[in-house]
A and B are shown apart, each in its own frame.
Chain A
Amino acid sequence: MIVEPAPRGFTDGSHITRVARAWARAVAGASYVPMAHVDIELRLAGFTTRLLRVLTSQPFDPSPATQIGVELVEAHFASPETLGHTINVLADRLPPLAGTSLDSSGRRVMRVLSALSVGYTRGLRERTLDEQESIRQATVLAQLQTEHALRESQEAFRHAAVHDQLTGLPNRIFFEKQLADLIEAGGARHVAICFIGITSLQAITDRFGHVLGDKALTVTADRLRTLARSLGHPLARFAGDQFVMLIEDPAGTPHLAGVADQIIATLSTPVHTDRHLLPMSASIGVVDRPVAGMDANDVMRAAGMTLQWAKAEGTNRWQLFDQARSDREIAKHALTADLAGGIDRDEFFLEYQPLVRLEDRAVIGVEALVRWHHPRLGRLSPGRFIDLAEESGQIVRLGGRLLDKACRQAREWAKLTDSPPYVSVNVAVPQLRDGAGLLRTVDNLLQEVGLAPELLQLEITESASIPDDPQLRRTLDDIAGLGVRLALDDFGSGYSNLGYLQNLPVNQLKIDMQFVRDWKPSSTKSLLPSLVKLAHDLRLSALAEGVETLQQAEYLESIGCDHVQGYYFGKPQAASSITSLLLEWSAEEI
């Protein structure tokens, strides 16, 4: 900093320095000045010199002091207190330096200081207004930036909320919104959904872990994305290994078939990783619906169902939604749901079909056949619900109930006649698997009802699982051990390894009705004689099912078949009809 030379003849530098030092001391702490003290003193010395020049100007003109006031503020000597202290110091210290008569210099000093005050105040006001303006602008700017940042973070948030992290594809939420918007807008007439399942993924994850599983998934997603872009159809990752492609106004089924084939071709290409070649496969369910009146939920349910059908077909297959099939499945589903309540409400009952000895046409047994009196659908035959009961696991409970009914009925008949019929009850594989449970049920029932074990027969279907399953074999042995009869149902229709028959504890082979139905009096080829012989060779009785004519009965008799069952000898009927029948017979015998 350069100190301006003092006006010559008035004073020397040391006087000025002393004033400046006093001035600096007076204003210290009154405002923040970003300078070291030496610099402050130098700066104030400069102002002092200039003030002296104004004070001694000829002719006297105080106005330049205004500018000095402004500059003081600009040099950051800026606060009301600074001005006060400045006036005090200068009013004391300047007049002696000015060297003029005290009186006149006193008046001059007053005018100089008043000019300085004007400049100082003006400077302070300007500075305040400038700072207020700059903070206002900074605030506006900051507000814009904050809003921008907020928007960006909201966008990022929204993007994250509707996109899948792993693949970067829109997620299910996004897709469902897209579909809902499409339905609402009503621009498209038809919309098709390809519901894609990457069927190989689970196995990859199971075998190689999640890292490779994710890798396969991202590669798959990229392939699909590329395909979807080239086709111009939106794509989303629906969940786990499921993707959806949305096709607006598809050009008919052949077009959809083309798209589905392309997707399968794209997705069934193996994925290369550093060390593995991962085989890939996919299935697709395709649903095509008119947009009008469409329910998004319903469409997705249909798509999911169709994907299941496609998977059931085998790998790399696609299926088109089929309304009739869907209706059937839905009905089946509803029926399954009704099963448990039906058992509780005792809606199941038994009818009995006579089992007749050919030799004397005597009713030696009856087969108990279940029916469901459904509250809404009326009487249902077992074909409608037994499989559902097996799939849903209800069969064990239902089977137990039916056994109970059958045993009690058998006991009634045993009271009625000296040669009562045995009751033959069908037992499903899940019941057999519940081996100990079944054994206990049967044993308890016989005790409780007081039924002779040989009046109960259990019919098991010839099934692939029996011969290989030692557990099932043991159950059968145990049941036979109780003295209960066992029959092999539908014989000849299924499993054909005859070897196991030798060791099975059964009493009777029930020859499947197809053999009787296929037999004609003119037939030269029939398995019936062999089947009867087979039974006899195994020391089992042979019963032919589905006998509907006298001719059939006579033929069976001629080849030595022991027993028959069929419409010719009696349809399944209410227990009371069987009772009447038995009463007639015993009356005849007497």
Chain B
Amino acid sequence: MDRPEWAPPGIDVERPSAARLYDYFLGGSHNFAADRAMAQQLLATAPDIPLIAQANRAFLRRAVQMLAESGIRQFLDIGSGIPTLGNVHEVAREVVPDARVVYVDLDPVAVAHSSVLIRGQEGVAAIQGDVRKPGDILHHETVRNLIDFTEPVALLVIALLQFVRDEDDPAGIMAQLRGALPSGSYLALSHGVVDGWRHDKEMVKNLYSRTTTPPASRTRADVAPFFGDFELVDPGLVWVTQWRPDQPSKIDGIKAAKSAVVAGVGRKP
């Protein structure tokens, strides 16, 4: 049955979701048989995916830590996923105990899971939202209540935009989101790209197309414009493992270029 336009997105546990696949790749069990079956297919084609997911997640941790240390007290995490290990509010609050965080995801299960996880915690909220409708997110009551848009905000768009296709105008979406932030705000962004990818691109794309959020193919060069006029902090837009690694070592288990994810943090002038 086709859902009418005005219906909220539903839950189809038979259909793999990017959020639950990602959880699986991070070693989590917050997933269903359909997700695991597809994950196995993806792993057969691209056995590096778990390492890539880990590297991305580690970037998120490092970026949030750095932002909190720079004095940011409020975080808007869009495409936040299923709460896994090292969630933004946990990382941020180690540095800024009263940091405020709003998690936004399209996946209703991810949102429900987040809400349960943060229940009873002040200053943290999870809402369902679609980044393709940035206005709805920015004007969401919860967002307005928790985030003060006159104070610097950290906008987290981590491993999200590869699920937003060009026809949905990601450039316009990002411009609108950036525009809503006051000077001194930050954008932390990572994006899966096809350069550096040494596995079967088509196969992976086809598999992901069966999820609720079919993917887009972008290159490193396509990602830089998402920062607009934000000034990239060191080391700029780099492979995700190269962004301020904890220690200069090969210990990450994956070579930089093979991570197939670029990442950066920009500051609004």
Q: Within the assembled complex, what's the spacing in Å between the Cα atoms of A146 and B106?
A: 12
A79 within 8 A of B: yes
Find residues 24-40 in chain B having any chain A CB closer than 8 Å to their own CB. Answer: 26-32
Whether A142 and B252, one on each chain, are in contact in the complex, defined by CB atoms closer than 8 angstroms, is: no
Distance between A248 CB and nearest chain B CB, rounded to angstroms: 34
Q: Within the assembled complex, what's the spacing in Å between the Cα atoms of A128 and B26?
A: 13
0 or 1 for each of A4-40: is its CB under 8 Å from B? (1 = yes): 0000000000000000000011001101111011100
Residues of B within 8 A of A127 (CB): 29
CB within 8 Å for A29 and B111 given contacts A135-B30, A146-B10: no
Whether A132 and B29, one on each chain, are in contact in the complex, defined by CB atoms closer than 8 angstroms, is: yes
Residues of A within 8 A of B86 (CB): 34
CB within 8 Å for A28 and B109 given contacts A38-B246, A127-B29: no
Whether B13 and A139, one on each chain, are in contact in the complex, defined by CB atoms closer than 8 angstroms, is: yes
Residues of A within 8 A of B96 (CB): none
Q: Within the assembled complex, what's the spacing in Å between the Cα atoms of A149 and B31?
A: 23
B145 within 8 A of A: no
A138 within 8 A of B: yes
Of A33, A34, A141, A149, most B-chain CB atoms within 10 Å: A34
Whether A25 and B112, one on each chain, are in contact in the complex, defined by CB atoms closer than 8 angstroms, is: no
Q: Within the assembled complex, what's the spacing in Å between the Cα atoms of A462 and B170?
A: 78
Distance between B29 CB and nearest chain A CB, rounded to angstroms: 4
Q: Within the assembled complex, what's the spacing in Å between the Cα atoms of A76 and B252?
A: 16
Distance between A180 CB and nearest chain B CB, rounded to angstroms: 25
Distance between B16 CB and nearest chain A CB, rounded to angstroms: 14
Q: Within the assembled complex, what's the spacing in Å between the Cα atoms of A529 and B84?
A: 114
CB within 8 Å for A153 and B8 given contacts A37-B249, A134-B113: yes
Residues of A within 8 A of B85 (CB): 32-34, 76
With CB as the reference atom, state the residue of chain B lying closest to A29.
Answer: B253
- From A32, A138, A139, A154, contact of B54 by CB (8 A): A32
B178 within 8 A of A: no
B221 within 8 A of A: no
With CB as the reference atom, state the residue of chain A lying closest to B87.
Answer: A34
Number of A-B contacts (CB under 8 A): 98
A137 within 8 A of B: yes
Whether B112 and A145, one on each chain, are in contact in the complex, defined by CB atoms closer than 8 angstroms, is: yes
Residues of B within 8 A of A33 (CB): 85
- From B53, B57, B109, B247, contact of A135 by CB (8 A): B109
Q: Within the assembled complex, what's the spacing in Å between the Cα atoms of A134 and B29?
A: 9
Of B6, B86, B112, most A-chain CB atoms within 10 Å: B112
Q: Within the assembled complex, what's the spacing in Å between the Cα atoms of A138 and B61?
A: 24
Distance between B189 CB and nearest chain A CB, rounded to angstroms: 20
- From A29, A79, A145, contact of B252 by CB (8 A): A29
Whether B247 and A38, one on each chain, are in contact in the complex, defined by CB atoms closer than 8 angstroms, is: yes
B51 within 8 A of A: yes
With CB as the reference atom, state the residue of chain B lying closest to A30.
Answer: B253
Distance between B82 CB and nearest chain A CB, rounded to angstroms: 8
Whether A131 and B30, one on each chain, are in contact in the complex, defined by CB atoms closer than 8 angstroms, is: yes
Residues of A within 8 A of B6 (CB): 153-154, 156-157
Main SS of chain B's interface residues? loop
B115 within 8 A of A: yes
Whether B28 and A131, one on each chain, are in contact in the complex, defined by CB atoms closer than 8 angstroms, is: yes
- From A24, A32, A137, A139, contact of B11 by CB (8 A): A139
B116 within 8 A of A: yes
Whether A149 and B8, one on each chain, are in contact in the complex, defined by CB atoms closer than 8 angstroms, is: yes
B251 within 8 A of A: yes
- From B108, B110, B254, contact of A29 by CB (8 A): B254
Residues of A within 8 A of B7 (CB): 150, 153-154
Whether A135 and B29, one on each chain, are in contact in the complex, defined by CB atoms closer than 8 angstroms, is: yes
Q: Within the assembled complex, what's the spacing in Å between the Cα atoms of A150 and B27?
A: 33
Q: Within the assembled complex, what's the spacing in Å between the Cα atoms of A142 and B17?
A: 14
Whether B109 and A139, one on each chain, are in contact in the complex, defined by CB atoms closer than 8 angstroms, is: yes
Whether B108 and A135, one on each chain, are in contact in the complex, defined by CB atoms closer than 8 angstroms, is: no
Q: Within the assembled complex, what's the spacing in Å between the Cα atoms of A32 and B51?
A: 8
Of B26, B27, B57, B251, most A-chain CB atoms within 10 Å: B27
Whether B108 and A145, one on each chain, are in contact in the complex, defined by CB atoms closer than 8 angstroms, is: yes
Whether B252 and A36, one on each chain, are in contact in the complex, defined by CB atoms closer than 8 angstroms, is: no
A528 within 8 A of B: no
Q: Within the assembled complex, what's the spacing in Å between the Cα atoms of A481 and B52?
A: 103
Whether A134 and B27, one on each chain, are in contact in the complex, defined by CB atoms closer than 8 angstroms, is: no
A417 within 8 A of B: no
Find residues 1-20 in chain B having any chain A CB closer than 8 Å to their own CB. Answer: 4, 6-11, 13, 20
- From B26, B27, B31, B112, contact of A142 by CB (8 A): B112
Residues of A within 8 A of B116 (CB): 134, 137-138, 141
Q: Within the assembled complex, what's the spacing in Å between the Cα atoms of A37 and B115?
A: 30
A577 within 8 A of B: no
Q: Within the assembled complex, what's the spacing in Å between the Cα atoms of A137 and B112?
A: 9
With CB as the reference atom, state the residue of chain B lying closest to A128.
Answer: B29
Residues of B within 8 A of A150 (CB): 7-8, 10
Distance between A456 CB and nearest chain B CB, rounded to angstroms: 71
Residues of B within 8 A of A146 (CB): 8-11, 108
A291 within 8 A of B: no
Distance between B24 CB and nearest chain A CB, rounded to angstroms: 11
Distance between A21 CB and nearest chain B CB, rounded to angstroms: 10
With CB as the reference atom, state the residue of chain A lying closest to B60.
Answer: A34
0 or 1 for each of A213-239: is its CB under 8 Å from B? (1 = yes): 000000000000000000000000000
Residues of B within 8 A of A149 (CB): 8
Q: Within the assembled complex, what's the spacing in Å between the Cα atoms of A37 and B4?
A: 49
Q: Within the assembled complex, what's the spacing in Å between the Cα atoms of A117 and B11?
A: 38
Whether B54 and A29, one on each chain, are in contact in the complex, defined by CB atoms closer than 8 angstroms, is: yes
- From B30, B53, B112, contact of A32 by CB (8 A): B53
Find residues 160-175 in chain B having any chain A CB closer than 8 Å to their own CB. Answer: none
Residues of B within 8 A of A132 (CB): 29-30
0 or 1 for each of A141-164: is its CB under 8 Å from B? (1 = yes): 111011001100110110000000
Whether A139 and B252, one on each chain, are in contact in the complex, defined by CB atoms closer than 8 angstroms, is: no
Residues of A within 8 A of B110 (CB): 138
Whether B57 and A32, one on each chain, are in contact in the complex, defined by CB atoms closer than 8 angstroms, is: yes
A78 within 8 A of B: yes
0 or 1 for each of B182-218: is its CB under 8 Å from A? (1 = yes): 0000000000000000000000000000000000000
Distance between A124 CB and nearest chain B CB, rounded to angstroms: 10
List 4 other contacts, CB 8 Å, given A31-B27, A142-B113.
Answer: A24-B251, A32-B85, A135-B29, A135-B31
Subset of 28 A-B contacts with CB under 8 Å: A24-B251, A28-B252, A29-B50, A29-B252, A29-B254, A31-B27, A32-B26, A32-B27, A32-B58, A32-B85, A34-B57, A37-B247, A79-B27, A128-B29, A131-B29, A131-B30, A135-B31, A135-B82, A138-B113, A139-B13, A139-B112, A141-B116, A142-B113, A145-B108, A146-B108, A153-B6, A154-B7, A157-B6
Residues of chain B touching chain A, judged by Cβ–Cβ distance below 8 Å, are 4, 6-11, 13, 20, 26-32, 50-51, 53-54, 57-58, 61, 82, 84-86, 91, 108-113, 115-116, 246-247, 249, 251-254
The 10 closest A-B pairs by CB, nearest first: A29-B253, A34-B86, A131-B29, A142-B112, A138-B113, A142-B108, A36-B246, A149-B8, A34-B85, A138-B112
